[in-house]
Structures are given as C-alpha cells and as structure tokens.
DNA sequence: TTTCTCCATTCCCATATCGTTGTACGGGAA
DNA sequence: TTCCCGTACAACGATATGGGAATGGAGAAA
C-alpha cells in the first residue's frame, strides 16, 4: 500500500530542511534571550541593546534572522526600530523544551539517588 | 523590587545555552528525519540506514547526538543496536513548529492574494 | 583461536555561522 | 546643505559542525 493511500504523513526533504532551519534559529542562546525579552511586549532596539551584552551589529543580525524566520516583526518609527513577537507560539516551543530538560534533570537526579542507595 | 521577589522567571545564561543546544540538535534535517522514522516505535540501526540515504558513519554520529540530547535511547542486542524515542514530546515540538510554518504559509498566501486583488 | 559482521570513533576537509570591525544608509536637527 | 545619531550591511578571522574515508572494537560464528 503506497504511502499516499495509507493516510500516513510522509514529509519531504524540503519540509525537513525548512523545519530544521527554524529550529536552528532557536539554537542560539543570544536569540533565545532576545525572544525572552520580547515576551512582555514590544521593545526598541536600543533597549534590547542596553539589556543584552552584545554589540549593536550583532543585535541587528540576530534580529534580522529572527524576522526572516517569522518569529519577530520589525516596526520602524522615525530613526528608531521596534521589535515585537510575531507569534506567541515561539514561547510555547521554548517552554516545551524547558519542560523536557527539567524532566531529564529530575530523572538524572533520581538515577543518582538510586545509585547512592544501591550497594555495589 | 528584585527579580527574585517579583515571581518572574529570569533564565540564566546557562539555561539559554542548554536550551539552545537542544534546539540545535533539532536543527538538522537528517536528525529530524531520523526522529520521524522512530515515531512508530523502535527501529534497528540497519533499518534506519536502509531507509535514510546517509552513510553508516553519519547515521551513527547523528544517533549519538540524539542520544546525548536525551531524545533517543540506544539498546544493544548482540551485535545489533536498536533505537527508540526517549520522549514523545520531541514530536510535539516538531508538530508545533510545523503548525507555525503552516500558518505562515497561509498568511503569505493570503497576502499574495490580497495584492493580486488590489489595484496598484 | 581467527574471521566476519555490525556499529562507533577518529581524522580530515569543506562549509556554515558567530562575533568584531568598519562602513554605509536614512532620518532628524542645526 | 552639513552634522549626528540609530540602525543595517559588508568583510574579516575564529570556531563549530556535517560528511566522507579509514580505523577501532565488540560480539557471533566457524
């Protein structure tokens, strides 16, 4: 039975590339911190620059990447630029990942506790 | 009022590094395809190698990365090795990202349609 | 034991990406 | 107009990462 008739989804290589590319955008600590700073609402480039400990050029590049990925929108107001989360689901992704890591940490902790109780 | 008393979570740089590192693991098309292949259950290394169009060394390296990230578990059975998803939530992450991309695509489509209807 | 299979690891190269520096663009004020 | 400020872009070096080829190592069979 061919996949087309099985009802099962068969992702194409292009889809994997696209999804992986967006995960890679989230695979940068500085960009995660920037997204986190935008969680409370719109922020100006200057305020982000003041908060983060990165250079102006670096900030601009990271924000460009986030905009191209569709995670953030850019709004120009005179000489100033304001950034905003384009989609709150991005934060859901981060929270989901954090939950996973937390579970792993707990499991590791229990494993260590078990080993300490066990008589080798 | 300090952050510690505001109830607001202030992630550390180490947490951003950790989360970003795990997102980077998902930022590889081949690894996403491997995770997808494991969605239906345990698979042997040989069957994964037969399905994917990558070299044996490459497969082994990718699976090692997935195991170290805690996404996959490795089980040895004689000379054979079987891999299994360690956490179904990984698939949730991928689905969430796909939903986002789908929404973007729809938005882009509507935008194009609007422009086509508009008289410039 | 030897030999074979299956998988992991190591080394090397090509490519990609991050951060810095310097520069260019664009808007507002003088 | 000229100047300054805020931001984006380009070019560079350093580092990281994926892929291929070769090697290593564990286990099973002879």
Q: What is the pLDDT of residue A32?
A: 98
- Which residues get their CB within 7 angstroms of nucleic chain C? A 24, 28, 30, 54-55, 57-58, 61-62, 65, 78-79; B 44-46, 49, 56-57, 59-61, 63-64, 74, 79-81
Look up the domain containing A30 and give its range. 13-117
Q: Does residue A111 lie in a domain region? A: yes
Judge whether residue B105 has pLDDT over 60: yes
pLDDT top residue among A11 and B44: B44
Residues B78 and B35 in one domain: yes
User: How many whole angstroms from its chain centre is CA B86?
Assistant: 13
Written as six digits, the tokens of B42 are 């345990």
Task: Name the pLDDT band for B1 (thresholds 50, 70, 90).
Answer: low
Q: What is the pLDDT of residue A118?
A: 46
Judge whether residue B15 has pLDDT over 90: yes
Radius of gyration, CA atoms only, chain B: 20
**How many domains in chain B?**
2
Q: Answer whether A27 sits within 8 Å of B23, measured CB to CB.
A: yes
Distance from CA of B97 to the nearest CA of A (A): 7
Residues B78 and B95 in one domain: no
What does each of the 120 residues of chain A score in pLDDT, given as a tens digit? 555 555 566 788 999 999 999 999 999 999 999 999 999 999 999 999 999 999 999 999 999 999 999 999 999 999 999 999 998 999 999 999 999 998 887 877 766 665 554 444
Choose from A7, A19, A51 for mutation: most chain B CBs within 10 A.
A19
Q: Which residues of B touch A96 (CB under 8 A)?
A: 89, 92-93, 96
Packing angle, helices B56-68 and B29-37, rounded to 10:
80
Q: What is the pLDDT of residue A62?
A: 98
Task: Name the pLDDT band for B5 (thresholds 50, 70, 90).
Answer: low
CATH number of the domain enclosing B40 = 1.10.10.10
Q: Which residues of B touch A105 (CB under 8 A)?
A: none
Residues B70 and B20 in one domain: yes
Q: What is the pLDDT of residue A109?
A: 74
d(CA A55, CA A1): 56
Written as six digits, the tokens of A99 are 């939950």
Burial of A101 (0-12, 13-18, 19+ CB in 10 A): middle
Do A104 and B86 contact (CB within 8 A), yes or no? no
Q: What is the pLDDT of residue A99?
A: 92
Residues B59 and B19 in one domain: yes
């Amino acid at each position: 039975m061919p996949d087309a008739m099985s009802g099962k989804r068969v992702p194409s290589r292009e889809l994997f590339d696209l999804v992986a590319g967006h995960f890679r955008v989230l695979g940068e600590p500085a960009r995660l911190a920037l997204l986190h700073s935008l969680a409370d609402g719109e922020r100006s480039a200057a305020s982000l620059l003041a908060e983060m400990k990165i250079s102006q050029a670096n900030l601009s590049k990271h924000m460009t990447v986030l905009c191209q990925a569709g995670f953030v929108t850019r709004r120009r107001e005179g000489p100033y630029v304001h950034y905003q989360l384009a989609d709150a689901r991005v934060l859901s992704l981060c929270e989901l990942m954090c939950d996973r890591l937390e579970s792993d940490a707990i499991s590791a902790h229990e494993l260590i506790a078990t080993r300490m109780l066990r008589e080798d």
